[in-house]
Structure 1
Amino acid sequence: MLLLVVGVGLNLVQLAELLSRVPPVVQRLGTFESPVHLPIWLNVALGLGAVPAGMERALRLRHFPLLDAAGR
């Protein structure tokens, strides 16, 4: 679960920085500077680690209060 949260979280922050450089987004919202800058090999490793972690979570259908609080 930790690998899933860290992998997805760090990649989403970096994706937000990338998307905030698109000209229409810059005009409306401004730019976003990511506080985390990881090397490409670590981004790929985190992404590849998050995939099986997410699959394991989905296939076992385990309940975790922090992740499942929105479903209440």
Structure 2
Amino acid sequence: MLLLIGIALLALQIAEPVSQIPPIADSIGVFVSPITLPLWLTISLALTTAAASMERALRLRYHWALDAVAN
């Protein structure tokens, strides 16, 4: 669950500055994230998401919600 939440929140944090690049902003517009996180929380979220993804990869267990995309 932490992995899914982390990926969703980090995707919102990454999409905002990427959408401000001039060619992207001209073609699709500028995205404004509905959630603004402080820097310390963004870093903590990135570290916990990385730890959760490493744990997920090292255990090599199948989960229907996470692995259904690959099938």
- TM-score, structure 1 length as denominator? 0.91
Would the aligned equivalents of 1:17 and 1:32 in 2 still touch at CA under 8 Å?
Answer: yes
Does residue 16 (structure 1) correspond to residue 6 (structure 2)? The answer is no
Would the aligned equivalents of 1:4 and 1:50 in 2 still touch at CA under 8 Å?
Answer: yes
Residue in 2 that maps onto 1:71: 70
1: CA distance between counterparts of 2:16 and 2:6? Answer: 16
Q: Deviation per CA, 1:50-69, whole angstroms, max 9, x where unpaired?
A: 11110010011111111111
**How many residues are treated as equivalent by the alignment?**
71
Residue in 2 that maps onto 1:33: 32
CA RMSD of aligned residues (A): 0.9
Q: Give, in angstroms, the shift of residue 71 of structure 1.
A: 2.1
Residue in 2 that maps onto 1:60: 59
5+ long unaligned stretches in structure 2 = none
- Runs of 4+ residues deviating >2 angstroms: none
- TM-score, structure 2 length as denominator? 0.92
Would the aligned equivalents of 1:3 and 1:46 in 2 still touch at CA under 8 Å?
Answer: no
Specify which structure has the bigger relative contact order, considering alpha-carbon pairs within 8 angstroms and separated by 6 or more residues.
1
Q: Give, in angstroms, the shift of residue 9 of structure 1.
A: 1.3
Identical amino acids, percent of aligned pairs: 45
